[in-house]
Amino acid sequence: MWVKARALARAAVSGLMMTVTGCATYHPLPLTHHAELASNLSALNRQVPAVAHSDQPLNIDVGHPLDIAEVGLLAVLNDPDLRSEWGDMGVAQAGLLQATLLPNPSATLAYGALLGGPGSAPSFAASLSQDIASLITYRSRVRAAQSHVAEVNSTLLWQEWQVAQKARLLALDIYYGDQSLSLTGRELRLISDEVRQAQAATAANNLALPALAPLLSAKASTEQSFATLNLVQIKQWQSLNALLALEPDVRFVIAEPDLPPSPSPLEPLIARLPQQRPDLVALQLGYRSSESNLRAAILGQFPAFVLGGNWGSDTTGVRSAGPTVTFDLPIFNRNQGKISEAEATRLLLHEQYVARLDSAVGTARGVAAQEHALLGYLPQARQAAEAAEKLAHTARDAYAQGNIDQRSLTDYETTALQRALEMVDLERSIGEDKVALSVELAFGLPMTRIVPPNE
């Protein structure tokens, strides 16, 4: 009997060692205590991964003025907030792994030493059991986890699109902001020159003092406009640099935006939004996951059921073996709570998807209508700007010949600058609508995630 006891002990120790050797081990992951902002564009991650195996990675050349599409890609590759993407995906994949794992069988070993009485040997007992109920919900749980992984992937792709859109809009606004600053600076110099001449004329008693007041007011207004534009420009640069993980004072040249015409007709593109827009796809996958969770909850009404077998010998040497069955009696808990929770979650995701789809369609049509209206204003605004510039040119010739005074020339030139500013604002608004519509209609951006893995 002691031989059996030693064999039983060796089996238990061997099983424990096999369990321990298969366990994961701890590895520290220390936090950094300093910022990792780049001091120039060359220090950024500039390689766009290949989508297909046959493709080559794309390296963004930062040695020339960047167009807004390149700025958007750089933001996706370097935005600090997107660095957590791989962590989010890792958590979802870990959930899938957990869903695919079956519960471990339970083993019981018992030994009773004979201390007295009529027996002639120590007692032994062994049993092995497996939870059967978890097998019933296995497929539903795995399908739910798979849908959740795909949902997370689509959600992360939509986050990349949002970052790219924000970066492209900032780059576009900065480009047109520079033009507005240049035009407003020219206007301020013109008015300042006129103010100086008027002040000199007033000091020489050649001009009445009240005539100076409108000029000073115009100068103050233009100075305020220039200061406001400059402050907005600084804030936009800081926002863009934050997306690119650059130092706040880094500046680079942005190329003139060259946005293609918005696609038309509009309705076929709107009809395919549920299959194209990552946020809508993510909501559909989330709904699919909730459907699987509901099925698993309904199947979970099946009471806990454990099937196994046991073997044992008592102190008289009598040996016995047989099956064992353990199950719950579904009297108080029939999984009603989880079923109710799963049904409510499915309804919530259903309504969220419908609301998001309605919002996407409405926003796309609204942006398209706004762009169409702005494009209708563009020829008229361009003609007005060209006409004002021609008048300013004529006024300069007339002033050179002494036919008009300085104030009249300044008025003509200021009007031309104002018309040019109107053109800049109109082109900026059209560009913003084109960028927004490209995201709303799900075209012009990578259809797969491009955030590089954390190193």
pLDDT at 6: 57
Residue 242 buriedness (CB in 10 A; 0-12 / 13-18 / 19+): middle
pLDDT at 1: 45
Q: Which structure tokens are listed for 281?
A: 């796809």
Does 61-101+120-440 carry CATH code 1.20.1600.10?
A: yes
> Which residues lie below 8 Å from residue 253, measured CB to CB, with a gap of 6+?
64, 65, 66
pLDDT at 311: 85
pLDDT at 123: 86
pLDDT at 88: 86
- Between CA 231 and CA 127 the distance in angstroms is 77
The alpha carbon dihedral of 145, 151, 153, 155 has a sign of negative
- The pLDDT profile of the chain, 455 residues, written as one tens digit per residue, is 444 545 555 655 555 555 555 577 777 878 777 778 888 999 988 888 876 665 677 889 998 999 999 999 999 999 988 888 878 888 999 999 998 988 888 888 888 887 877 777 888 888 888 888 788 888 888 999 999 999 999 999 999 999 999 999 999 999 999 999 999 999 899 888 888 887 888 888 776 777 778 878 888 988 999 999 999 999 999 999 999 999 999 999 999 998 888 888 889 999 999 998 999 999 999 999 999 989 888 888 877 778 888 888 887 778 888 888 887 777 777 778 888 999 999 999 999 999 999 999 999 999 999 999 999 999 999 999 999 999 988 988 887 887 887 778 888 888 999 999 999 999 999 999 999 998 998 887 788 887 776 64
Domain boundaries, the chain: 61-101+120-440
